[in-house]
Amino acid sequence: MQPSACKRPQSEAPPSLPQLYPTGPNFYQMAQLSPSTMPVRVFEDHKTRVSAVTVLPDGRRMVTSSNAWHSLRLWDLKDGVVLKKMAGHRANVRALAVSRDGRLIASGDENGELIVWHGDTGDSLVPAIKAHTEKIYSLDFSSDGSMLASGSWDDTTKLWNTTTWQPSGEPISCGADVNCIRYSPSSKLLAIATDHDIQVHDLSTRVRVARFTGHAVNDPIYNYSLAWMPDATRLLSAGSHTDYNIRVWDALTWEQVSDLCTGHTGTINSIVVDTSGTLLASASSDRCVRLLRLSDLPMKHSGNVHCAAFSVDGRHILSGGDDMKISEWELPKGLSPAQGSDFKILVMNTTARNACIIGDLPTAIQLFTQQIDADPDDFDSYAKRSFVMARQVAWNDALQDATKSVSIEPSLMGYISKGLALCGKQQVHDAMAAFDLAFTFTNADPKTTHFLFLIKAIASFNANACERTVLPVQELAARPNADPLACRVVEAYMRVQLGTIAMGDGLHRDAAGHFTAAVNAGIFFSKLDVHSTYEDFVVLFGWDLKSLWQTANQQRCHALVRSGKVGAAFEAYRYMMEMSDEPTKAIFRAWVPALDEG
């Protein structure tokens, strides 16, 4: 999840490069979309400046900090109320981060103390850790949540094992106040912004692989905040005082490749990217949050703005500043990430398609057979009949039809059907080769390529369901121009399958973890018609997307009960009731006796 907090004001997390207009060598200007907008909602409870804000992965809550003692707040985003005031710090809280799975919250204060909190309850997990001798100004979790990095004004950056909460290795000596730290998307590299320079360290060797002045080339400008592009090819940075541009650095040469002219007239305190990797928000002391894409959309606070975060669904920005408020801004129509566009790669006649959707596979086969009988060279019908035979687990017949299709005429559909059939026969290496050939028929269309990548990942998962086969889907979701909603639908399906396997093996705690991950992914689409939007998954694999989120919730409760975590099961049940509409609530109420029997 995106961390928050960088220097006196704070910063946020990983990014992507917006589209730009060139105005000169290595210099780019954002186009202006409209003069300003007003927040749709304001969260008020802090008594001083809001220094950091981040949204938890479940999309239901956010955590904020301010420059006042004991001032962390855990908020309910639906009702806008404070769920918990998280007390424990003895000095102003400057740094805040949430692990990607939402299980851990970390906060750091001006005394150099670090506190770790439970992501669900907001309770502290360990006593306050004296992590640094000076102020902690930035925190960031590694992508897998196994490590936490902390940056301080004692000129050091430290890495912490999130199981033992002991330092991992020696501190990184940075030579100046550390204002912001950011893991690269793979967590192989750690970028560090200091008063004097920007440093990049390879964490596998603890070797500094890059060091450059950055914004500090002009005294007294400091390097304030950092953000990586999702593919790790670029590092973005923002500075202080009179440097109002975001600079872009090539991650191979570490040379500056461009400036992004933001339109700000004050220090850029924070830069943050949305989950689709297409929108960049910057928070500034000019009292504005600007949204950068092909646009420059100022959002006005009544005081300096120090931090910003995108909502999990990418439709809102939350920002905090000197006015002691957290403001929620709605993205303009046309700028919100696409929630799926009913894109279909499988084009077939309506009767056959509907037969596949409702599971009437013999009818679908009969229709394609009739088309093949009418035209023995109908390679497309061979490919589609192969899909249906794969649904019937008739792998030999499916492979025979797929091979016939590509022998008549190589095509996208033919190689997809061949890849699916080979995966079904556990010939995974040959299947991957078939999918790779399918990519040559996408005409470089990004939607087709994206969907094909997901089909390939699903086929690989179905052939060998394990944790590592989920990773390619997670990585795809982080790439620019991805359809994050499609990726989350696929990940939720995979997690439900892994949870079901774990339950069958009696590994109830592991199962609960998988179902929880499915629920967290499902929160993005629980109220959307993904069954229609991603109908091709239904046609190809027979998925029931209408009940996917419901199944994940029910099975999570069941797994928690079986693992002896009755309290957690109750909380999970309460959560799914709160997030459901009335018809779904009725289904859950009717299901409770079955849960008790389990």
All CATH 2.130.10.10 domain ranges in the chain, comma separated: 21-330
Q: Is the domain defined by 350-597 classed in CATH 1.25.40.10?
A: yes
Whole-angstrom CA distances from 232 to 81, 92, 178, 191 are: 37, 33, 22, 11
Cα–Cα distance for residue pair 379/363, rounded to 1 Å = 19
> Could you give the angle at which helices 379-391 and 395-408 cross, rounded to 10 degrees?
160
User: Which among 384, 392, 455 has a CA at the least distance from the CA of 413?
Assistant: 384
Pseudo-torsion of CA 354, 446, 246, 50, nearest 10°?
Answer: 10
Are the CB atoms for 536 and 569 separated by under 8 Å? Answer: no
pTM of the shown model:
0.54
- Residue-wise pLDDT tens for the chain (598 aa)? 444 334 333 333 333 323 333 333 333 333 332 334 677 788 888 888 888 888 887 778 899 988 766 678 999 888 889 999 998 999 989 899 998 878 899 999 999 999 999 988 899 999 999 999 999 999 999 988 899 999 999 999 999 999 999 999 999 999 999 999 999 878 899 999 999 999 999 998 999 999 998 877 666 778 889 988 766 778 888 887 777 888 888 888 898 877 776 677 888 888 876 655 567 778 888 888 777 753 333 344 455 656 666 666 666 777 776 677 777 767 655 555 444 445 567 888 888 888 898 899 999 999 999 999 999 999 999 999 999 999 999 999 999 999 999 999 999 999 999 999 999 999 999 999 999 999 999 887 888 888 999 999 999 999 987 878 888 888 887 665 677 778 888 999 999 999 999 999 999 999 999 998 888 777 656 666 677 778 889 899 998 887 888 888 888 988 998 888 888 888 888 877 776 667 767 776 776 655 544 4
Q: State whether residue 71 is helix, strand or coil.
A: coil
Count Cβ atoms within 10 A of the Cβ of residue 465 and give its class: 0-12 exposed, 13-18 middle, 19 or more buried. middle
> Range(s) for CATH 1.25.40.10 in the chain?
350-597
Helical (H) or strand (E) element with 199: strand 198-202
Bridge partners, residue 55, by sequence: 62
Superfamily of domain 21-330 in CATH is YVTN repeat-like/Quinoprotein amine dehydrogenase (2.130.10.10)
Check residue 216 and report its DSSP letter.
G
